[in-house]
């Protein structure tokens, strides 16, 4: 058998840090231990019944077994526009300002390839979603990292970025509610972002994956709610988290017409859009009853209370996330984030994600998901307490 060498482009892709975590969890589980996995980002609840039923019905229609239009059916684009009008008061042209995506991840990886040339610069949050790095590597572009620090409410401090970098940057990634920190953005921050992008003529990409998940009665802001945002940016929305449709791989990008056009042009060469039955189910999700979304947010908020209050009771000084379904927890003194993650897994059989996997400024934290039931969360707290480190 000939062992063909991978291209230099593939060799430059970042390593999938979390594949290593999955392997570690699997190894401990294989030894017969019951691992409570708080390290994952995979929703644990089922897709709502009315969405599944629409898929079943749509799958029986022979027309849906044919190729979709290359850029997706107009009814799904119209549904996305109606969703944004209903939820955020944002007006969108379905044909010019909406692109159907194979999940949010695909869009986020595609965008640097659409807008950047080799050597171009993008501003990227640190800590941040690692797949931003993947898209940058595929575009052979350069990243300038923006530290997300607790003292700044995990928002980037634009004043700390050199004028030369701002002037040369062509792209800016943001993500609020934030993975991994659980922070949310303010209207003032988004306004500052729009002003900065207009001044320096770079494109803003707001990853709104956790847009439905805000706590304490606060609904997360859409970047496009800010006046002028469509002039300089787009927002990427996925149905994975809002409707527990992670495995369905469906989302959309909305906003600036030229960026939407670029995404659709690239996708013309990669796909023939989504399985049409999934497009029908996505329409159902966006336009059907939203009670399932309200109930899901309540569930995550209840889990947040159980986990954070439990950890505080055993002496771990941790903060409540304001959004997303993650908690960002400070590592106790004497550990790196990876050492502490390994320690919890090996000695308490509790899995968390080390912060260093999200970037340099993730060091000193671990990420815990609110993606298991409350009894297991309480058991995780008991196991951590038994270690006697707090």
Tell me 346's DSSP state.
Answer: I
* Segment 231-283, tens digit of pLDDT: 999 999 999 999 999 999 999 999 999 999 999 999 999 999 999 999 999 99
Contacts of 117 (CB under 8 A, 6+ apart): 139, 141
Tell me how far the alpha carbon of residue 254 is from its chain's centroid: 16
The whole-number pLDDT of residue 50 equals: 98
Burial class (CB in 10 A: 0-12, 13-18, 19+), 319: middle
The whole-number pLDDT of residue 390 equals: 85
Q: What is the CA radius of gyration of the chain?
A: 21
Binning pLDDT at 50, 70 and 90, where does residue 333 land?
Answer: very high
State the Cα–Cα distance between residues 53 and 71, nearest whole angstrom: 24
| Residue of higher predicted confidence among 25 and 176 | 176
Contacts of 97 (CB under 8 A, 6+ apart): 81, 230, 254, 255, 256, 257, 260
Tell me 100's DSSP state.
Answer: E
Phi-psi region of 336 (alpha: psi -120 to 50; beta: other; left: phi over 0): beta
Mean pLDDT for the chain? 96
Give this prediction's pTM. 0.96
Tell me how far the alpha carbon of residue 3 is from its chain's centroid: 36
The whole-number pLDDT of residue 357 equals: 94
**First-to-last CA distance in the chain?**
55
* Segment 15-28, tens digit of pLDDT: 877 777 888 888 98
State the Cα–Cα distance between residues 376 and 78, nearest whole angstrom: 41
């Amino acid at each position: 058998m000939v062992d063909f060498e991978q291209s230099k482009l593939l060799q430059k892709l970042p390593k999938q840090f979390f594949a290593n975590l999955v392997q570690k969890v699997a190894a401990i589980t294989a030894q017969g231990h019951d691992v409570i996995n708080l390290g994952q980002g995979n929703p644990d609840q089922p897709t709502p019944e009315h969405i599944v039923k629409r898929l079943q019905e749509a799958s029986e229609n022979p027309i849906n077994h044919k190729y979709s239009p290359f850029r997706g059916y107009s009814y799904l684009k119209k549904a996305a526009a109606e969703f944004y009008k209903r939820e955020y008061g944002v007006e969108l042209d379905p044909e010019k300002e909406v692109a159907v995506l194979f999940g949010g991840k695909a869009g986020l990886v595609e965008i640097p390839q659409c807008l950047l040339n080799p050597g171009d610069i993008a501003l990227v949050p640190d800590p941040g979603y690692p797949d931003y790095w993947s898209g940058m590597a595929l575009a052979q572009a350069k990243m300038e990292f923006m530290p997300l620090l607790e003292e700044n409410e995990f928002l980037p401090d634009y004043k700390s970025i050199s004028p030369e970098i701002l002037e040369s940057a062509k792209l800016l990634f943001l993500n609020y509610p934030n993975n991994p920190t659980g922070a949310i953005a303010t209207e003032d921050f988004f306004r500052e972002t729009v002003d900065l992008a207009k001044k320096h003529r770079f494109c803003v990409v707001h990853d709104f994956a956790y847009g439905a998940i805000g706590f304490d009665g606060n609904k997360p802001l859409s970047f496009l709610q800010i006046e002028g945002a469509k002039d300089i940016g787009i927002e990427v929305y996925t149905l994975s988290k809002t409707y527990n449709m992670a495995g369905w791989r469906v989302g959309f990008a909305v906003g600036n017409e030229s960026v939407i056009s670029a995404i659709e042009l690239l996708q013309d060469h990669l796909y023939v859009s989504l399985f049409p039955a999934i497009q029908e189910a996505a329409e159902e999700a966006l336009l059907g009853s939203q009670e399932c979304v309200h109930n899901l947010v309540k569930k995550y908020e209840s889990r947040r209370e159980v986990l954070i209050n439990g950890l505080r009771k055993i002496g771990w000084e941790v903060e409540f996330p304001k959004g997303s379904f993650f908690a960002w927890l400070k590592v106790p003194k004497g550990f790196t984030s990876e050492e502490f993650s390994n320690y919890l897994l090996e000695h308490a059989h509790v899995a968390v994600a080390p912060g260093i996997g999200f970037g340099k400024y993730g060091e000193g934290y671990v990420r815990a998901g609110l993606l298991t039931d409350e009894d297991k969360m309480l058991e995780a707290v008991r196991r951590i307490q038994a270690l006697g480190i707090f």
